[in-house]
Amino acid sequence: MRNIIVIGAGFAGLWSSISAARSLDGLHEDDVRITVVNRDKWHGIRVRYYESDLTDTRIPLDDLLDPIGVGLVVGEVENIDHAGHVVSVRTHGGVSKLPYDRLILASGSQLRRPNLQGFDRCTFNVDTYDEAVRLEAHLHDLGTRSSSIARDHVVVVGAGLTGIEVACEMPERLKKNGLPHGKVTLIDALPNIGSHMGDDARPIIEEALSELGICTRTSVSVKSFDHNGVLLVDGERIETHTIIWAGGLQASNLAKDIPANTDGLGRLSVDKYLRVSGTADIFAAGDIAAAPVEDGYVSVMSCQHSRPMGRFAGHNAVAELVGHDMIPLEVSAYGTCLDLGPWGAVRTEGWDRKVVKKGSDAKAIKTHINRDRIYPPRSQDRAEILESGRPEAQSPPPK
């Protein structure tokens, strides 16, 4: 039996496994088995974890994998022995050794965790489903406490896309939890809010933040955290019972087990077929991989790129294993759509991030992306699931 192991069941890992199953379907290669290794039994819609209602943000993996004949091992990957072609997985039953003939590494990214006093004890985040649930429970608990400056103040640290989306949702979340006069402050070490969104979008973001009553502080750095506030490097103290860290992502630590070049985010360098540079049997997709895309750019940590990367990685792992031609990665034109809460959203197109929609028009696009476009089929229909793994560039969202 030849084994294809997919590590991770996020946007890249799920579609890697579906695409691999699709490519095997009809080939009569009965001695090839696909197995997904994931830390839990869910496919999570991670990009929605900044929202308050999380009821539709996880899909049982069994509903997606069982119909297409893909196995699932729930556990934490401890290490990858690339020389021995074995993945070690810690499960409830102990450590299992899974041999592979082809490996697709799609273990994604994780929150960048600073070495600051009080960080682990005193901050919240929306990086995982469990952390998002913990934040929502905390916000509910705030409403039961006596009013104070610290209780009524939420501080979001990190003004990238996630930090902005968290901040823009927060006034309404506070109102729902009995804090109608809660204050939200968004801070960042860089001189501008939303620095990576570009000059065209920045005034729109600032307008939305202002209308939502969100305070902003830029060019400030944090020294430490405690349960009652944030201490800045310059000695200023901000009183708050709610500190939400949105300080960026870095690639999964499993990248370090692979003998290949990595970039500043810890991502593995891959070729146009999603094969890890310098290896013969390892593919990588999603946030753990830096893939060449259009116009000389490399992929970004986004479901926009993770999903097609997974589709091509899954197909190519099968093709390379059985001696068929691989297909070079193709992605749709780059764009972003940033949720700005009740104010609306802003949509940009191109690597220079030119604004094409804002307000309610952009919000409609963002809602379509978050609640429809990025979801896998939920019919449990084999044919429909397999078709969703077709390795081709997806058309852009509706304008």
Question: On the CB side of 293, how many CA atoms lie within 13 Å of its CA?
Answer: 23
What domains does the chain contain, in order, with CATH numbers? 2-110+249-335 (3.50.50.60), 113-245 (3.50.50.60)
Burial (0-12, 13-18, 19+ Cβ within 10 Å), 336: buried
pLDDT exceeding 90 applies to what percent of the chain?
Answer: 94
Mean pLDDT on 88-100: 95
**pLDDT tens per residue, range 248-286:** 999 999 999 999 999 999 999 999 999 999 998 999 999
pLDDT confidence bin for 294, thresholds 50/70/90: confident
Interval 174-191: pLDDT, tens? 999 999 999 999 999 999
Predicted pLDDT of residue 93: 85
Contacts of 253 (CB under 8 A, 6+ apart): 110, 266
Which residues does 344 contact at the CB level (< 8 Å), separation at least 6?
Answer: 208, 358, 359, 360, 361, 362, 363
Residues in CB range of 313: below 8 A, 6 or more apart: 12, 16, 19, 104, 106, 274, 283, 284, 285
Compute the average pLDDT of residues 124-145. Answer: 97
- Number of Cβ atoms within 10 Å of the Cβ of 120: 9
pLDDT value for 33:
97
pLDDT of 382 reads: 98
Instruction: Decide if pLDDT at 316 tops 80.
Output: yes
The pairs formed by 189-194 with CB atoms below 8 angstroms and a separation of 24 or more are 189/218, 189/219, 189/220, 189/221, 190/159, 190/218, 190/219, 191/218, 191/219, 192/159, 192/218, 193/159, 193/164, 193/218, 194/159, 194/160, 194/161, 194/164, 194/338
DSSP, res 190: S
Residue 396 has pLDDT above 80, yes or no: no
List the beta bridge partners of residue 238: 230
pLDDT per residue as tens digits for the range 324-349: 999 999 999 999 999 999 999 999 99
Q: What is the pLDDT of residue 30?
A: 86
Read off the pLDDT band of 397 (50, 70, 90).
Answer: confident
Structure confidence by residue, pLDDT tens digits, 52-63: 999 999 999 999
- The H helix count followed by the E strand count for the chain is 9, 24
Kindly report the average pLDDT of the chain as a whole number: 96
Contact 314, 389 (CB under 8 A): yes
35: Cα within 13 Å, side-chain hemisphere: 19
**Rounded Cα gap, residues 159 and 192, in angstroms:** 8
d(C-alpha 156, C-alpha 316), whole Å: 41
Over range 16-21, report the average pLDDT.
98
**CA–CA separation, 359 and 375 (whole Å):** 24
Average pLDDT over residues 118-133: 98
| Residue 322 scores a pLDDT above 70 | yes
The mean per-residue pLDDT over the stretch 20-45 comes to: 95
Q: Of all residues in the chain, what percent carry a pLDDT higher than 70? A: 100
Report the alpha-carbon distance of residue 149 to residue 182 in Å, rounded: 9
List C-alpha distances in Å: 181 to 23, 178, 342.
55, 9, 16
H runs (alpha helix) in the chain:
11-24, 61-65, 119-122, 129-142, 161-176, 202-211, 303-322, 359-368, 382-387
pLDDT computed for residue 309 by the predictor: 98
State the pLDDT at residue 67. Answer: 98
**Residue whose tokens read 């968004």:** 186
Residue 355 in this model has a pLDDT that exceeds 70: yes
Give residue-wise pLDDT tens across range 146-164. Answer: 999 999 999 999 999 999 9
As a whole number, mean pLDDT of residues 224-245 equals: 97
Average pLDDT over residues 107-128: 97
pLDDT at 399: 67
102 forms beta bridges with 4
